[in-house]
Amino acid sequence: MNDLNCVVTNIIPVSPIMKIIRVKPIDWELPEYKAGQFVALALPGSAPKCESATEEFKEPDPDKLIKRAYSIASSSSQDYVEFYITLVHSGSLTPRIFALEIGDKIWMGKKAVGMFTLDQIDPELNVILIATGTGVAPYMSMLRSNALSRKGKVMVIHGAANSWDLGYSSELSLLETMFPNFSYHPTITRVEKEPAGWSGDTRFIDAIWQDDVVEKAWGFKPEPENTQIFLCGNPNMTNGMTEILETQGYKEHKKKDPGQIHIEKF
């Protein structure tokens, strides 16, 4: 199909329902984008679906592109774009993305958009990047771009169901050993399913926050005056954390009314 302007160059299965996928443009230049932004991906309704797909809410038009937004996980200096995607079994696009193989084609929007970026934030300030599931994708783009050259501290708190759902955990653990200003705190909530056990955190993100995990990692308490907080992923987490943070003096960031809480809901 002529509309499909990219080729899949790499697929890394993270878990049965999560994949890291890289795509490269076919005969066009990737535009500049900021780490943290997202683009649209699309496949036509006629594209085959993966085996574990369940019935769709509504059969799509076979000739029309099904478009959805995906955060970019790669650094803006690469000639490919990487995504970290969860399969929604009853969804329209993800079962089709999960049927793709290396060499297959996919459509990608040519313009990345979004305000969920670090570029407006004073490099002296600390940043806390909180995610559930594939919500860690925009943070990987930030860390792989220039987030770790900031003067302030950077921390990733990543929650998932199981340890194998913690995509990028090896890379994040490695970054923690390399950069003294960076900390990584993973947590899983279904520890009973871990075949080899799990010695890390098993609390929900709000409980971790209330237990001052950041203060324990940094040696000082993050305050609205010195820290910006990013929340990405499941709306239950982003809403719950926003409520807690607001009681602690943090305020949602708006273009015309700057605050310290930046939110991207998937």
Ligand X SMILES: Cc1cc2nc3c(=O)[nH]c(=O)nc-3n(C[C@H](O)[C@H](O)[C@H](O)COP(=O)(O)OP(=O)(O)OC[C@H]3O[C@@H](n4cnc5c(N)ncnc54)[C@H](O)[C@@H]3O)c2cc1C
Q: How far apart are CA 144 and CA 249, in angstroms?
A: 30
Q: Which stretch binds ligand X (CB under 6 A): 89-97, 118-126, 143-151, 200-208?
A: 89-97
Q: Please name the residues in contact with 218: beta carbons below 8 A apart, sequence gap of 6 or more.
A: 126, 153, 155, 183
Selected from 1, 26, 69, 102, the binder of ligand X by CB under 6 A is 69
Does the protein bind ligand X through residue 12 (CB under 6 A)? no
For residue 141, give the nearest of 56, 257, 35, 11 by alpha carbon. Answer: 35
Q: Which two tokens stand for residue 190?
A: 């279904």
Strand partners for 127: 154, 228
Binding to ligand X, residues 25-44 (CB under 6 A)? 38
For residue 215, report the phi and psi dihedrals to the nearest 5 degrees: -60, -40
Q: Which position among 85, 112, 129, 188 is part of the footprint of ligand X (CB under 6 A)?
A: 85
Span from 69-77, 189-197, 199-207, 249-257 in contact with ligand X (CB under 6 A): 69-77
**Contact characters 90-109, ligand X, x per CB under 6 A:** xxxxx---------------
Cβ-closest position to ligand X: 91
- Rule CB under 6 A: is residue 168 a binding residue for ligand X? no
Q: What is the smallest separation between the CB atom of 135 and ligand X, expressed in angstroms? A: 7
Instruction: Name which of 91 and 159 has its Cβ closer to ligand X.
Output: 91
Q: Does 137 bind ligand X (CB under 6 A)?
A: yes
With a CB cutoff of 8 Å and minimum separation 6, the contacts of 134 are 18, 71, 84, 85, 86, 167, 233, 266
Q: Which structure tokens are listed for 138?
A: 């925009």
What is the binding site for ligand X (CB under 6 A)? 38, 57, 68-71, 83-86, 88, 90-94, 134, 137, 264, 266
